[in-house]
Structure 1
Amino acid sequence: MDIPPFTVTLKNPDIPVRIRQYPISLEGRMGLKPEIDRLVSKGLLESCMSPFNTPILPVKKPDGTYRLVHDLREINKRTVARFPVVANPYTLLSNLGPNNCWYSVIDLKDAFWACPLAESSRDYFAFEWEDPETHRRQQLRWTVLPQGFTESPNLFGQALEQILQDYKTRPGVTLVQYVDDLLLAGEREDDVRKESIKLLNFLGLKGLKVSKAKLQFVEEEVKYLGHYLSKGEKRIDPERVKDKWITDSRLLKYEGILLDSPKLTLEVTGLQNPAQFLYGEPDEKELAHNCMTTIEEQTKIRPDLEEEELETGERLFVDGSSQVIEGKRVSGYAIIGGPELEVIESGPLNKTWSAQACELYAVLRALERLKDKEGTIYTDSKYAFGVVHTFGKI
């Protein structure tokens, strides 16, 4: 778009954000190479030597190709955000009249990449890239608004709104804009058709591209902003209210909660899954080992913490409790064992202890009695059982 470049302001810009690139498998780098080469050839990416660096991720599409995802969360945290002026979708749809029976929906493709980024702000959006064929490492940076940047929707929406101020629709046709999604609605099919062609040509002259796969051209029913529009009425897309636990929006919500938690730090492991280096089709030779068997051996709980009792050794039954008797709280524990299942140890505990603490103390005393011996400990406390099997220690 022929608009002034956008400038981004960061808090503490003199302290660069430096995050090393996550390990990417060979398959992932091979999948990203055509996309990165294309972006470089179009001038959307350029080489640089920036003090800033944030990682990228390869995301595989259903068709087998890869999409470049830039992890800009740390940059987003440091960005001085402008006041958002994105309209409410429900307010936009309420402006449509009941006589609108024909619609066109235009989805702009790679819309953010049509907005230039100021030279002074480009270093903030640099990442490291290693070519899988030449093994050359370099830094690349965006020359346009990158996807994943918190300000991109707001900035693009305002820029497009200013451009559309020069566009006038004919009487009887309404134009609705929400970020990069455009809707034309009218009473007559011919008017909507002519207006759709006119708008597509206008957008093309402004340097904007349209997603042909998502284009809904002059139809009586269309899907727009999660609603179906038909004969002047709107209804929510059933997929939005379908009973699904794992949804993109829900996962995004939980991710946002985790990222905003001051007591939680998310770190990316430096270890790599060896399976990601298996490139190509497997041969017909006999496998050296069964991966599932190996995983089970490495991840199963310790043998001494399994729920099956030992065939040999002592058997001890433990219990602990804390309750109020005649207005006073009393706490204690007991251990039962031996051939006659007699009380072999018991005693009072601190009256401030909870029942769970008493149960744990009983297990601890039983473990001390079985030191250097074999034996099975029985407890009716799910809490004590969970602590031992989760942590392997008390």
Structure 2
Amino acid sequence: MVDTGAQHSVLNKKLGPMSKKTSLVQGATGTKRYCWTTERKVNLGTHQVSHSFLVIPECPAPLLGRDLLTKVNAQIHFDPGGMSVTDGLGQPIHVLSLALRDEYRLFVPKPSETIALDVQPWVHKYPLAWAETAGMGLAKQRHPVVIELKAEAVPVRVKQYPKSQEARRGITPHIRRLMDAGILRRCQSPWNTPLLPVKKPGGTDYRPVQDLREVNKRVSDIHPTVPNPYTLLSSLLPEYTCLPLAAQSQEIFAFEWTEGEGQPVVQLTWTRLPQGFKNSPTLFNEALSEDLCEYRACHPEVILLQYVDDLMLAGTTEEACSRATGDLLQTLGILGYRASAKKAQITRQEVTYLGYKIRQGQRWLTQAMKETILQIPEPKTPRQVREFLGTVGYCRLWIMGFTEKARPLYEGSKETPNWTWTEPMKKAFQTLRQALLEAPALALPNPNKPFQLFVDEKQGIGKGVLTQQWGPWKRPVAYLSKRLDPVAAGWPPCLRIIAATALLVRDADKLTYGQQLLVYTPHAIEGVLKQPPGKWISNARLTHYQALLLDAPRVRFQTPCFLNPATLLPNPEKDRPLHDCNEILAEALAARKDLTDVPLSNSELVWFTDGSSYVKDGQRKAGAAIVDDSGQTIRAETLPPNTSVQKAELIALIQALEQAKGKRVTIYTDSRPIYQERGFRTAEGKEVKNLPEIRRLLEAVQLLRAVAIVHVPGHQKGEDLEARGNRAANAAARKAASRDYAAPILAVGLPPPGMGTLPPVPDYSLPDLAWINKDATLQKDDQDGWYRDQNNNLILPATLGRHLCEHLHTTTHLGEKKTLTLLQTACLRFPRQNAAVREIIQACEACQLMRAEKKQHSGMRYRGEEPGQHWEIDFTEVDRIGPWVHCNHVRQATPEEQEKARAKWKASPHPSNPLKLKLARREAS
């Protein structure tokens, strides 16, 4: 960029998405409006900033404006030796611009342009194993790969993006080299995807990148055996080109190519498995793993780890490792695979593998990875929040309580209309960055030793530390954290710890190699699982937890230790638990502390409740009943139609509790409605049905002096008290349901006495006067002290106006609009009258009960006895171009035609919709 003293920094090309912001620019030829880019990340050498650039295509060169210089904190010094430009710390300014997708290369150690000295002897000894000496490889023992398309897939053609002359010249040598090697060939294909030349950072060379996103959408998915199975835009490097591609599958990867101006455009395609294809990593990983099976069997003294095309060989001694390395290089050369000598690390005690440094049984984050994350600026959109979480989540094993620290960011990653960057998000962002700087070194898992997992749960988040014994110490292997699902998060603490333990044990299985796992928790979850709390956990969940935690022989539960690493809290009484989980669960299950499911020994009343609901003559009938221990009916009520049996049983239980107010009662029922502690949600996480009745039930339980609600199985045939009482309650409920339901009738009493006359002096409150003062049109009458508006409407005090509306509604039961109309007709107003009228009508029980509900259509339409007998025409607006009707192109007859022809159709209004016409054919007279 050129420093010209401009106010704004300017780009002369659109290098990314544009914003809606525009600005007027005054130039030599006049004034013109130009657009701005969106906020882009700009590396200023010492830090990153977010900046928006003005795009002026007519500008001969990009301009460095005062806005960007201010963010750099640039300072110009004039010395006898010359002029210098520094930043605020006095350091020279070096600004490097590069594409955002290549930003990580700033912090990745630059690969050596030459082969390391300790690797050169291996290159000379095994020349067929290296890409630098043997060229591109070809897997000799692999059959050509056949790509399976989806059943509905059709060829797609994506237009080639424009390429500059410089970019075309930059990728031409690479295309020619691939064509000479037979990896690219000419073709004629209905498929086509674009080729993107990408400039390599720090040089003038370009590399070709093919956009295969549309092809990936049309190819069948296979189960990925490696994480992050594909990258949408990936460079065409020779790793996957070792695998041949079947002839029938080559055409789907075609792209357009021309070597220069005036040259014809041709199509090229791949004969090998290309980069950018979503299944390439999985296919290559499986092929290389199968080809190396024999090598692994012949070298049991070493360990060979494979991640796609990255191999790491580990041995106990340097001699064994060197010998196995030589055999591996020879095997790769014979099989047709090629390794990179510039990236090789051979017989070293410290290596960098997959972004981690590994040495002496430990692994830790590299400085380059930390700096990459620390350079990310504060997010401005939910998408940027998700990008940050995805980047820092790769290092979550090193951050204790990662899920708890990142909770505000997870909540802020959702797209909302009024999204803002809040203070809790900013605090979580800074906390995670600081945690990366303090990330410890973790021990490598030892498959020959048992593991210890320390678990704790807090506010719906499970935290754990996986350790292994190292002498007298426990060395951390990984820090684990998981968020509980909404159902488990609503359980009591003694059950939440079970869900947290199950989640963390499942995560720990990825690192323990099937070794014994000792689990330490502050709760006795083993005993709780053996006595399952069926009212909280569904059978499917319970079976899953028991199979994972109890039936697995390698999982063993231990008593809490003196210092739990998951909480960093001491437990001085190691042998005794801090609480009794069964007692806490029993208290949590009860709506009141003395509520029991055992009959009271000194009950004043013993009642049985039941509800009934069945269908008769196409209509569901329902009823609820209460009977005493002698079989006498205490109460039986016919319920509204379409009432479910569950709701009927709830109503019967509620009525029994309310009728026995203040007494000691034992109630037998066959329902179990307990949902309060779970936030009124079912075990599957859905909102519970009959929520108003359940809330009313929980309130009614508090009305009694002592209560026992005993669950009994329904439809028993014995002669004991429970069986006889349940049968009597069921019979009374069915008898009540068989009667016709009589809807409540609105009782209209005599109108209350008149309101009388207005008081001589108005009594306006302070809120009334504040409301009056806001309206300049309201004037006070000096004679009587009443306020009036410009239409001579009398302003009443709010209390008096509300009393008047209550009196009016009690007399007439008018709706909101009618009531306001009467006030307007009477020339009366009062503060906040609309809200007051609405509250009065909503509080009227009679009006709410008699409110007319919208009737749903039955879903059936008359079709006639023969084709064309019955027509229905929807109301629509025709195009007004001609006389044709839009729906069936029937033209309206002219007067001349009407005289010649007899009318055979009759149009009449539709019986249920006034916007439709009904056409019926009739016989000609």
TM-score, normalised to structure 1, is: 0.56
Indicate if the aligned counterparts of 2:153 and 2:218 stay in contact, CA closer than 8 A: no
Indicate if the aligned counterparts of 1:173 and 1:185 stay in contact, CA closer than 8 A: yes
The answer for the alignment partner of 1:215 in structure 2 is 344
SS of 1:166's equivalent? helix
The answer for the alignment partner of 2:354 in structure 1 is 225
Indicate if the aligned counterparts of 1:87 and 1:178 stay in contact, CA closer than 8 A: no
The answer for the alignment partner of 2:239 in structure 1 is 111
Distance change in 2, residues 1:78/1:251 (3 Å)? farther
Distance change in 2, residues 1:58/1:87 (3 Å)? closer
Deviation of 1:225 (Å): 1.2
Instruction: Give the one of 45, 48, 69 matched to 2:209.
Output: 69
SS of 1:219's equivalent? coil
Instruction: Give the one of 184, 190, 196 matched to 1:51.
Output: 190
**Corresponding position: 1:146 with 2:274:** yes
1:83-110 alpha-carbon deviations (Å, 9 max, x no partner): 112279xxxxxxxxxxxxxxxxxxxx72
The within-5 A match list for 1:241-390 is 241-242=370-371, 243-245=374-376, 250=387
> How large is the RMSD of aligned CA atoms in angstroms?
3.3
| Counterpart Cα distance in 2 of 1:221 and 1:175 | 16
The answer for the alignment partner of 2:283 in structure 1 is 155
Indicate if the aligned counterparts of 1:123 and 1:141 stay in contact, CA closer than 8 A: yes
Distance change in 2, residues 1:29/1:198 (3 Å)? same
1:337-371 alpha-carbon deviations (Å, 9 max, x no partner): xxxxxxxxxxxxxx9xxxxxxxxxxxxxxxxxxxx
How many residues in Structure 1 have an aligned counterpart in Structure 2? 244
SS of 2:256's equivalent? strand
The residue type equivalent to 1:220 in the other structure is Q
Deviation of 1:171 (Å): 4.5
| Counterpart Cα distance in 2 of 1:110 and 1:30 | 21
Deviation of 1:16 (Å): 1.1
The answer for the alignment partner of 1:79 in structure 2 is 219
Distance change in 2, residues 1:21/1:253 (3 Å)? farther
**Corresponding position: 1:8 with 2:147:** yes
SS of 2:329's equivalent? helix
The answer for the alignment partner of 2:321 in structure 1 is 192
Distance change in 2, residues 1:134/1:188 (3 Å)? farther
Indicate if the aligned counterparts of 2:350 and 2:357 stay in contact, CA closer than 8 A: yes
1:21-53 alpha-carbon deviations (Å, 9 max, x no partner): 000001000011000000011111110000000
Instruction: Give the one of 307, 324, 330 matched to 1:178.
Output: 307
Distance change in 2, residues 1:223/1:22 (3 Å)? same
| Counterpart Cα distance in 1 of 2:227 and 2:390 | 21
The residue type equivalent to 2:250 in the other structure is R
The answer for the alignment partner of 1:23 in structure 2 is 162
Distance change in 2, residues 1:6/1:171 (3 Å)? closer
The answer for the alignment partner of 2:181 in structure 1 is 42
Indicate if the aligned counterparts of 1:184 and 1:192 stay in contact, CA closer than 8 A: yes
Deviation of 1:15 (Å): 2.1
SS of 1:67's equivalent? strand
Deviation of 1:136 (Å): 2.6
Instruction: Give the one of 110, 120, 128 matched to 2:248.
Output: 120
| Counterpart Cα distance in 2 of 1:187 and 1:86 | 27
| Higher Cα radius of gyration | 2
| Counterpart Cα distance in 2 of 1:236 and 1:189 | 25
SS of 1:35's equivalent? helix
Distance change in 2, residues 1:253/1:232 (3 Å)? closer
The answer for the alignment partner of 1:345 in structure 2 is none
The residue type equivalent to 2:211 in the other structure is D
1:174-193 alpha-carbon deviations (Å, 9 max, x no partner): 11111000000112112111
Deviation of 1:212 (Å): 1.3
SS of 1:4's equivalent? coil
Indicate if the aligned counterparts of 1:33 and 1:132 stay in contact, CA closer than 8 A: no
The residue type equivalent to 1:76 in the other structure is N
**Corresponding position: 1:137 with 2:265:** yes
| Counterpart Cα distance in 1 of 2:156 and 2:388 | 26
Residue segments in structure 2 that go unaligned for 5+ positions in a row: 1-138, 229-236, 378-383, 392-766, 775-833, 835-925
The answer for the alignment partner of 1:264 in structure 2 is none
Deviation of 1:236 (Å): 2.1
Deviation of 1:133 (Å): 6.2
Q: Identity of aligned pairs, percent? A: 42
The residue type equivalent to 2:162 in the other structure is P
Deviation of 1:207 (Å): 0.9
SS of 2:198's equivalent? strand
SS of 2:346's equivalent? strand
The residue type equivalent to 1:196 in the other structure is T
The residue type equivalent to 2:243 in the other structure is C
The residue type equivalent to 2:199 in the other structure is K
| Counterpart Cα distance in 2 of 1:191 and 1:149 | 38
The answer for the alignment partner of 1:266 in structure 2 is none
1:232-263 alpha-carbon deviations (Å, 9 max, x no partner): 2222223223312179x949979xxxxxxxxx
| Counterpart Cα distance in 1 of 2:146 and 2:389 | 27
The residue type equivalent to 1:240 in the other structure is M
The residue type equivalent to 1:153 in the other structure is P
The residue type equivalent to 1:69 in the other structure is V
Distance change in 2, residues 1:150/1:171 (3 Å)? closer
1:305-327 alpha-carbon deviations (Å, 9 max, x no partner): xxxxxxxxxxxxxxxxxxxx98x
| Counterpart Cα distance in 1 of 2:390 and 2:179 | 33
TM-score, normalised to structure 2, is: 0.25
Indicate if the aligned counterparts of 1:130 and 1:138 stay in contact, CA closer than 8 A: yes
The answer for the alignment partner of 1:357 in structure 2 is none
| Counterpart Cα distance in 2 of 1:66 and 1:11 | 34
The residue type equivalent to 1:149 in the other structure is F
SS of 1:210's equivalent? coil
Indicate if the aligned counterparts of 2:255 and 2:267 stay in contact, CA closer than 8 A: yes
Which structure has the higher relative contact order (CA within 8 Å, separation 6+)? Answer: 1
SS of 2:192's equivalent? coil
The residue type equivalent to 1:181 in the other structure is D
**Corresponding position: 1:205 with 2:334:** yes
| Counterpart Cα distance in 2 of 1:111 and 1:170 | 25
| Counterpart Cα distance in 1 of 2:389 and 2:149 | 24
Distance change in 2, residues 1:52/1:221 (3 Å)? same
Deviation of 1:61 (Å): 1.5
Indicate if the aligned counterparts of 1:56 and 1:69 stay in contact, CA closer than 8 A: yes
The residue type equivalent to 2:212 in the other structure is L
The residue type equivalent to 1:85 in the other structure is T
SS of 1:10's equivalent? coil
